[in-house]
Copies of this chain bind each other. A is one copy, B any other.
Amino acid sequence: MAVSTETVSDICTAAKRASRALAQLDTQTKDSALQAIAEALEDRVADILEANALDLEAGREAELSGALLDRLALDPRRVAAIAAGVRAIAALSDPVGEVVDGFRRPNGLEIRKVRVPLGVVAVVYEARPNVTIDAAALCLKSGNATVLRGSSSAGHSNALLAQLAGEAAEAAGLPEAAISIIRGGEREELRELATQTGTVDLLIPRGGEQLKSALAEHATVPVIYAASGNCHVYVDASADLDLAQRIVVNAKVQRPGVCNAAETLLVHRDVAAAFLPQVARALVESGVELRGDKRAYELAGQFPIEPASPADWDTEYLSLILAVAVVDSLDGAIEHIAAHGTGHSEAIVTSDRDAARRFQHAVDAACVYVNASTRFTDGGEFGMGAEIGNSTQKLHARGPIGLRELCTFKYLIEGDGQVRS
């Protein structure tokens, strides 16, 4: 494992060299390394908790909030869950070597488009030390070398976790620089990492808007930004209103702090009078604060609803607040989403086949749902097994970023002397 005396450039160069060997490993070797990492985590729980205690102590001295301290904290149960996550990744099928496409040309050339690792994947993240292992395991399974950079608040925990994982992987036959961690200051190393053109093949930031904008300013390496999600549920004129209520409440309430939770409810005017009092009751009973446009405000019945300001339509609350608007038509809903959506997850509730079809065609988002909660946008729920984030970009990865999205491909072409005329 790379140690802290190396420069960022040294670490990335070593990772690049390691990536060439990693790309050619068979699945069995990679899975053995993952099993060894899981065992190392279990064997060394006491040491991990000791390192974590140092971070927690420093965090309390720095007067971090209770929520931040909780994200930082490890306990035996959490370490066991991290190890179980590694074993789950080992059990996934290997994306490397999958033939994505293949054909024979009239001149006899045989062409296969084959999935291969990207090379070096850098992951920049905040607080939660479990990301150290999750990211390393996903990258290892997909044949990539990983360069990790956590936040200094979790420095002791991250360093030990990366060290244990790197040593376990090395003992299982992987190159030393398969898993590296960058330690040190907050901003300078980040900028250096984001400009390692030629060695870093992909940088994935997992963190808040501040981290993303710091990167956007300096990055010259390819970056996939994890998504922010201003997700909508549109209840169509033909919707089954009980089913609509179940979906709206789930999309808002089940886990409001995540990017695939709904932030705005759109209701067709023909069902607004019937639906709004019913759904408002259910939402308010679940602790949701409602902010409505004029028509929603008038129709919500006896339930408390605040008037929405223009900013509400563009706000990702990530909490128990829901904006509510009444629209005149399916097209009105589509227009609202085009104007305010972030291209993450959008849902229609409808019994009308044509409305479902038109909504799915017209809405430009990674995931477009009919009669289901937006909360399903997730690598696990999509059957990818695990994800390193969600992309709202359109190039390369859109939606959950799983093992396949951590790969590129190459064309393998075989002939018997073909030349071009």
Contact = CB atoms under 8 A, between A and B. Distances in A.
A198 B362 CA distance: 17
Nearest to A97: B361
A418 B20 contact: no
A23 B362 CA distance: 8
Q: Which interface residue of A202, A254, A356, A372 has the most chain B CB atoms within 10 A?
A: A372
A375 interface: yes
Interface in A369-421: 369-373, 375-377, 381-383, 393-396, 398-399, 408-421
A408 B420 contact: no
Contact of A420 (B375, B382, B409): B375
A215 B416 CA distance: 41
Contacts of A103: 383
A396 B409 CA distance: 9
A contacts with B: majority SS = mixed
B408 A398 contact: yes
Contacts of A109: 372, 376, 381
A398 to B, nearest CB: 6
Contacts of A421: 254
Contact of A373 (B246, B396, B419): B419
Those 9 A-B pairs whose CB atoms lie nearest each other, nearest first:
A372-B415, A250-B419, A394-B408, A375-B420, A395-B396, A396-B396, A372-B418, A243-B417, A367-B411
A81 interface: no
A338 interface: yes
A364 interface: yes
